[in-house]
Chains A and B, each alone.
Chain A
């Protein structure tokens, strides 16, 4: 397997890495950088647990090769807050009980963040569309949708 030197800005910090050409972004995040907020759920791009933002848009880290993202901005759940002030979605998800087991939560929040970046006042249908690639087995999505609405309304205040 050939190896490639890449530089990925992750959450605003540049990481220089030597990766084999079949290394996925998920493996780099979890195994090489110990950034475990991004979850592994299926490795086949079906569950959405590994969703991260690539240049602001949601991608599945398990289906993204690390060398494909050389030089592109990656945002993970750890990078949504600066450690002091959480993202509005992180607060509303907590506040409304939108996380139960919490395993889908990081990916769900990143998909929702991308939506709110593009659309500050989404309808329920628009939220359902944006989150339809993120599976949750606990909540029935009800409080997740509520939390996205609440974050949107707070951001517009």
Chain B
């Protein structure tokens, strides 16, 4: 790795920034095609019912209606995970949540489409609704997927690494705590949209606001029974994702089907209400945590149980379930660890992945419990983190490979910047500081469909004038992946990022990238781009060196020129070098790819949590909390994040600030709440997200641990910074008022209830006390990695 860079590490705008600010950027809903029809879905009004009949004849005969389709037209099931193929684009025989699409129409305009929906007669025979986690675990409710009565279990897991009973037995302090993380949703500002066009030659093009064009491509191939070569999926600018556009969705499939039926382009843009039903947001998770500590705070063993309310379909849920148990060990050395988890189906919109995917919930529980244990042991909250912090280049008991790790530096720098130690326990009543840490993956180590092919491929084509075009399927959802790729390539070729021509997220034009999920793009697509750029550079250098009769190693590429070492003006311009390379070697088109090393551990479920690198974060929140009203006002947030290397510090800060913002929203008010099975308020009026008035200043501290495998040493920043924010708020509320809100969000009513409890002589804790009496499957005992010491006095 070179010591100095010209564009890596530079604060710079996105490569498309002016297009965005002048309103010229086109999102899917901004596009129209000649003859385009409007598509709309009819939503189920029942949470759980048999569809006894659907009569579409009145709708079909309405003037201006071109097609009406139902579940019978799309009989093939699908789902993002190969093991959860349980969805249909339109409900067949049964509806499973209120808002589920049951029919779709294509019409000449919105008003006609809307009238047509009103003319579709659906008859339902209601079934008992599975409303709560307890309902799902009970054995006398109708099966949501299946016939008859029984437990609505989706999946359960039970793993033990080391000997937890022995570890707990040797502890000086054992704590048992119960926490509830309520669900919330992404609420990206752009509602999902899909524009499908089926050509006379039998080729289908879908423009969709998706994070994963590759997986949408695969799903369309399966459901529509078209060869993949006849399907083109394009994700143009995507107006925010956060995990909410990572599944294949009904409207993507129905838009295609309606276009195939009518022979005309069809656009379906979801309403804001429909987006709340499409959901795939943060799972509500009930958690029970039993942890043993030595008197110095060192963890001896941990037993972690999670109960997930998954909603009506699988989505990513099997992965989510394992994620609720996978990353506890990524920050703290836990010598003996047991994880038991269960996900149930209920008659509500399906949960899925949201920023941090299955890890913010257990992180909330873990970081709050550590603060409680520190208090029990008379330690300060920083000391208990320090004594347990994982080391770089180590293995965890559950077989995660830790390489670069800036956790300790993150802790120290955020504590210093915030003055935490002088404030904690010292501020006036009603004011407090809270601390927490987190870690996240730089890309899931395994693809969703296991195979031996690369997870990212990038192609670079250079024209005869020196123009560089970079092709990648990575979808820019606002996180800046296109700018990242341009910067990586520009650095290697001695050019400027805005000069790169970027072709992204188009399955016809670009080589595969699995998509913008699991914080994988910088690490994986970045490495693929680096390899491709190096091949281009090598060819140009070889041709130039030959011409100048020197060695390629003596050349450098910078400022649009190929120079002999530091001697400015000694070589030739980039375009001249390119022409030499083309003259000697033919077209200057090169590709690169990335595939994660094989990191899976020796057990089923080990595919979840492994990653080629982990980012680390530490957070301090300072806030005011009114003891009378329970109102929380966050004064300032400090967040240190180990990103490995910031390819563009300004865009990295934007991810940190956005993660802090989203974490504060989840901590303080976001709640995807239901009255029974009916969404409590599928609008921004009812689902509150933070505004400018709620947002405190954020102090970003970028820590660079220089990852040995990341592109230029880089790791992720899109998801990790959210993780410590929520528990840091909870810990700050405790510091301010002495109450413990063990249930998100930390709303004024919960804080006031906690204060009332204190005034009546209680402990001031709000949250569930018990977990269901569910019997987990027998534990799978897994040997810790070779050389891993489970002894509780290991250093």
Contacts and interface: CB of A to CB of B under 8 A. Distances in A.
Contacts of A138: 240, 478, 654, 658
A98 B18 CA distance: 11
A104 B189 contact: yes
A78 interface: yes
A49 interface: yes
Given A131-B692, A137-B186, A44 B685 contact: yes
A25 interface: no
Contact of B22 (A49, A77, A95, A135): A77
A98 B573 CA distance: 35
Interface in A109-157: 109, 127-129, 131-145
Interface string B471-501: 0000001111000000000000000000000
B302 to A, nearest CB: 32
Contacts of B14: 94, 97, 99
Nearest to B32: A34
Nearest to B685: A46
Contacts of A4: none
Given A42-B272, A101-B188, A103-B27, A137 B242 contact: yes
Interface string B181-216: 000001111110000000000000000000000000
Contacts of B271: 43
Interface stretch (B168-176, B523-531, B693-701): B693-701
A142 B695 contact: yes
Contacts of A139: 654, 657-658, 661
B247 interface: no
Contacts of A135: 189, 684, 689, 691
A18 interface: no
B509 interface: no
Contacts of A95: 13, 17
Contact of B21 (A38, A94, A143): A94
Interface string A37-62: 11111111011010000000000000
Nearest to B483: A97
A96 interface: yes
The CB with the most chain B CB atoms within 10 A, among A30, A77, A100, is that of A100
A136 B23 CA distance: 16
A44 B237 CA distance: 24
Contacts of B241: 101
The CB with the most chain A CB atoms within 10 A, among B23, B188, B657, is that of B23
Contacts of B653: 97, 142-143
B239 A96 contact: no
B296 interface: no
A93 B692 contact: no
Contacts of B654: 97, 100, 138-139, 142-143
Interface string B1-40: 0000000000001100110111111110110100000000
B650 interface: yes
A39 B21 contact: no
The CB with the most chain A CB atoms within 10 A, among B14, B20, B661, B698, is that of B20
A72 to B, nearest CB: 20
A100 B479 contact: yes
A141 B689 contact: no
Contacts of A133: 691
Contacts of A94: 13-14, 17-18, 20-21
B454 to A, nearest CB: 27
A41 B190 contact: yes
A134 B689 CA distance: 11
B661 A141 contact: yes
Nearest to A142: B657
Size class of the contact patch on chain A: 35 or more
A40 B20 contact: no
Contacts of A142: 653-654, 657, 695, 697-698
Nearest to A22: B111
Nearest to B700: A142
B21 A90 contact: yes
The CB with the most chain A CB atoms within 10 A, among B21, B26, B661, is that of B21
A37 B23 contact: yes
Contacts of B698: 140, 142
B667 interface: no
Contacts of B697: 142
B272 A41 contact: yes
B683 interface: yes
Given A100-B654, A102-B237, A81 B187 contact: no
Contact of A93 (B21, B237, B685, B690): B21
B318 interface: no
Contacts of A7: none
Contacts of B29: 36, 40
B23 A137 contact: no
B792 interface: no
B578 interface: no
B731 to A, nearest CB: 20
B12 to A, nearest CB: 9
A42 B690 CA distance: 16
B17 A99 contact: yes
B617 interface: no
A109 B683 contact: no
Contacts of B657: 139-140, 142-143
Nearest to A49: B189
A95 B17 CA distance: 8
A102 B478 CA distance: 7
Nearest to A37: B23
The CB with the most chain B CB atoms within 10 A, among A96, A101, A131, A143, is that of A101
A105 B659 CA distance: 18
A77 B284 CA distance: 40
B239 A102 contact: yes
B238 interface: yes
B21 A46 contact: no
A86 interface: yes
Contacts of B660: 140
Given A38-B23, A97-B651, A100-B658, 15 more contacts: A47-B189, A80-B22, A90-B21, A97-B17, A101-B189, A101-B240, A103-B190, A135-B189, A137-B240, A138-B654, A139-B654, A140-B661, A140-B662, A141-B691, A142-B697
6 contacts: A90-B21, A137-B188, A137-B242, A141-B661, A141-B691, A143-B654
Interface of A: 30, 34, 36-44, 46-47, 49, 76-78, 80-81, 86, 89-91, 93-106, 109, 127-129, 131-145
Closest 9 CB pairs of A and B: A37-B23, A101-B478, A140-B661, A103-B239, A77-B23, A94-B17, A102-B20, A36-B30, A46-B684
